[in-house]
Amino acid sequence: MNHIKLLFFATIRDRAGVKSLEMDIPTDLTIQGLKDKLSADYPNLKQSMQSVLITINREYAFDEAVVPPNAEIGMFPPVSGG
């Protein structure tokens, strides 16, 4: 198992109801797998997982990236400029 820390920001934090969360995940889990797991385990987050921006250790990551051990995962809602 792989221990990670999730950090939630803005509207995702509101939907999660917490600022951060620690969890154990399978060692080969991808970002997409993590989003699927969070959608299933936390129904309030399901809609957010469709457009969330993800960072792994403060660097943007794509759905196919494998979550490394002891990672810090940031979850941000999409941002629009004006």
pLDDT tens, residue by residue, 11-67 = 999 999 999 999 999 999 999 999 999 999 999 999 999 999 999 999 999 999 999
**For the whole prediction, is pTM greater than 0.85?**
yes
> pLDDT-based confidence at 79, cuts 50/70/90?
confident
- For residues 47 and 18, give the distance between their C-alpha atoms in angstroms, rounded to a whole number: 17
What is the pLDDT at residue 81?
62
What is the pLDDT at residue 67?
98
Rounded to 5 degrees, φ, ψ at 58 are 70, 20
Rounded to 5 degrees, φ, ψ at 71 are -75, 155
Looking at per-residue pLDDT, the higher value among 81 and 4 belongs to: 4
78 residue type, one letter: P
Q: Of 20-24, 50-54, 71-75, 78-82, which range is least confident?
A: 78-82
Topology of the domain covering 28-82: Ubiquitin-like (UB roll) (3.10.20)
Calculate Rg over the CA atoms of the chain. 12
Query: How is residue 77 written in tokens?
Result: 């809602």
Helix (H, G, I), strand (E, B) or coil at 49: helix
What is the pLDDT at residue 82?
59
